[in-house]
Structure 1
Amino acid sequence: MCTTCHCGQSEPAVINAPSPSARRLELGAALLSRNDAVAASLRRRFTAAGLPVLNLLSSPGSGKTALLERLGRDWSGSGRLAAIVGDLATDNDARRLRAAGIEAVQITTGQACHLEAAMLEPALERFDLAALELLVIENVGNLVCPAAYDLGESLRLVLLSVTEGGDKPLKYPAMFHSADLVVINKIDLAAAVDFDRDHARRHIAKVAPAAPIVEVSARTGEGMAQLRDAITAGLAAPALA
């Protein structure tokens, strides 16, 4: 259970206190305000270093790490792509990325279901930011809480796997609405799982009408050239406010 945003946690009994819902709203606003201040500081730091930053979000098992492994192999200037990886436990994903030749630092969040801007600061000390071409933040697998937390990124990419079904954008609209780019992964399995592309694209367009949609297979490499082009175009757009 998340101990920082308090999602789903019961409210402790307090005598003569405001209602639990009011206290939860006040706490949430304070947390996001502090996070936004740190995120703004990080964004200035990234800008000073000339470093674009991609925040990669999705549910667990959608293929974030596999996508990064493929990007590490295919990205022009390979070896200058680095990653910060968030998980509740283990450093499995960071070890996978390092084995693929990507400099990676793992953040284990314990019970926290998302990364916050302040969590990135110690990890950033492990990199020579000026030497990197792209920094990717692989967020904790979760389609709820991470949507609310700015990490100072230049571009927010939300990943949807065909195995999840095409209705996820409607079920988790805040996450997809926050996306600058939506990627449909595991497209090589679309026929096997009876994935309806048009159905999924309509749902994405309903909640994220301005976000480009790219279909890829991290396993086969299908669509990766288009994804690189979309990332490059997105990074060339005006920075997030």
Structure 2
Amino acid sequence: MCRVVDLKQAVLAKNDAAAHALRTELTARGTATVNLLSSPGSGKTALLECELLLARERGIAVAALTADLATENDAVRLARSGVPVKQVLTDGLCHLEAGMLGRHLDGWLPEATRLLFVENVGNLVCPASYDLGESLRVVLASVTEGEDKPLKYPTAFGLAQLVVVTKTDLAGPVEFDEEAFRAHVQQVNPGVEIVLTSARSGEGAGILLDRATAVAEGAATHTPVMARQASGQDTHAHDHGHGPDHGHGHGHDHTHPHPDPSRHVRPAAARTS
């Protein structure tokens, strides 16, 4: 008898195991990891640079790892903050994976690091599938991207534990509809916190750092409905995992298998380390 193997599920299950091991290791050493996801050009590098500078001013031991398909431009920018920074070139891979992250941290991440910020590859599809062993998953969107972004990428936004709006200094010129954006986020991820920031004007400066620090100190994180469904905690809630990225942005839940691959995702807060 032939056995049909779902290659995607096998790959994601392997990643989940690596993420669990990495989360356990980092937690044991007192390091909280923040996974930053967004589209290209969202302004996450500029915002992260500001947050790293603030962390240094406050005496918080931080480090940053940034991933890109090519060039070390982001690492050069972030290194200006004076904190440990490492560039990962994925050679065409559209996302980071837990095993890859672990290998790059080995022997590089300073032992006393309190917060590790991981700037994922600019992409709202593939990275949403992969748990990196993070303590906090953050999705960023700029006001220039439009209010319907959460509906176009429901998995990325639906699994976020914090949503950050960037480039708010441009909200007026681009006629950004904040109310509509908030409604769309809540449609796919009820109850998630949404914060407004601008690296240029300074609006929201330190919010990301504050939230990450709170998590490092043991604060509870938001558990998305999609995560509760995947873990079997919420069997009656409506599944919002639909839209143009259906079938691409979903991970595999190795603890609670389910035959429907579109409901296999659980972010860090919903897994047990």
TM-score with structure 2 setting the length: 0.76
Identity score, percent: 52
RMSD of the alignment, in Å?
1.9
Structure 1: 5+ residue stretches without partners: 1-16
The within-5 A match list for 1:1-241 is 26-75=6-55, 77-78=58-59, 80-235=61-216, 236-237=219-220, 240=269, 241=271
Q: How many residues align?
A: 220
1:184 counterpart letter in structure 2: V
Which residue number corresponds to residue 5 of structure 1? Answer: none
Contact 2:150/2:185 (<8 A) preserved: yes
Check conservation: 2:168, 2:196, Cα contact below 8 A: yes
1:228, 1:111 → 2: CA distance? Answer: 30
In structure 1, how many angstroms separate the alpha carbons of the residues matched to 2:109 and 2:150?
Answer: 36
The answer on whether the counterparts of 2:32 and 2:215 sit within 8 Å (CA) in structure 1 is no
Distance 1:192 1:233 in 2: 34
CA distance in structure 1 between the partners assigned to 2:63 and 2:78 by the alignment: 9
The separation in 1 between residues aligned to 2:22 and 2:199, in whole angstroms, is 29
What SS class does the counterpart of residue 70 from structure 1 fall into?
Answer: helix
Superposed structure 1 runs of 4+ greater than 4 Å apart: none
Which structure has greater helix proportion?
A: 1
Task: From the superposition, tell whether residues 126 and 105 of structure 1 become closer, same or farther in structure 2 (CA, over 3 Å).
Answer: farther
Aligned in 2, Cα 1:97/1:119: closer, same or farther, shift over 3 Å?
Answer: same
